[in-house]
A and B are shown apart, each in its own frame.
Chain A
Amino acid sequence: EVQLVESGGGLVQPGGSLRLSCAASGFNFDDYAMHWVRQVPGKGLEWVSGISWNSGSLRFADSVMGRFTISRDNAKKSLFLQMRSLRPEDMALYYCVKDLGRDITLVTMHHWGQGTRVIVSS
């Protein structure tokens, strides 16, 4: 069974930093692209960032470009999102998502974690 468990969320002041982690199990982690998708409670879904199976391709939404970094450690079956210069509009539930394929093309969000909450407030 595919399991994706996010951690690292919490309360941070505007301008601060946070690093989210996702521990994966139940599948060959290094065979799949991975993504972060966020959702403001009661609102819709926004794709944030994606990384290919071998970290060769990275993509970011314009809203986080230059502030967020995505990385993965295939040996540890883990995905990360380093978030800097956080803004109130970054406040959301952040989901770790497994893609259907290896590359970040034709992105299909196959399995989702339960999310970790990020609160940006002074």
Chain B
Amino acid sequence: DIQMTQSPSSLSASVGDRVTITCRASQSISTYLNWYQQKPGKAPTFLIYAASNVQSGVPSRFSGSGSGTDFTLTISSLQPEDFATYYCQQSHSPPWTFGPGTKVDIQ
């Protein structure tokens, strides 16, 4: 199975900050990497697919990059509604595994 790790596990930031979250796969997954956002008490929502393609309707401050084993999710200017937990997920091969999540909270 492909293991996914994320760093940091949590971070504190202020509105307007640039935030970067890293996701690493245990083997190369090309660009088969998705990102999701989950707010407390809510289901996850889909943000980015194939490492860098932002889902329609997702604000342009969200971006993704990377290939192979190392990926990043960047929020260019953090907004109040962005405080949440972010998960990466590899879509390369089954079982489709998620990272453990990165919680972004208010500093």
Contacts and interface: CB of A to CB of B under 8 A. Distances in A.
B91 A115 contact: no
Contact of A115 (B43, B87, B97, B100): B43
Interface in B43-70: 43-46, 49
B34 A109 contact: yes
Given A44-B100, A47-B98, A61-B95, A112 B43 contact: yes
A108 B46 contact: yes
A114 B32 CA distance: 25
A19 B43 CA distance: 21
B40 to A, nearest CB: 10
Nearest to B46: A110
Contacts of B45: 112
A47 B95 contact: yes
Contacts of A115: 43
Instruction: Please report whether the interface of chain B is mostly helix, strand, loop or mixed according to DSSP.
Output: loop
A8 to B, nearest CB: 17
Interface of B: 32, 34, 36, 42-46, 49, 87, 89, 91-92, 94-101
Given A44-B100, A104-B94, A113-B43, 20 more contacts: A45-B44, A45-B87, A45-B89, A45-B101, A47-B95, A50-B94, A95-B43, A106-B32, A106-B92, A107-B91, A107-B94, A107-B96, A108-B34, A108-B91, A109-B36, A109-B46, A110-B46, A111-B46, A112-B43, A112-B46
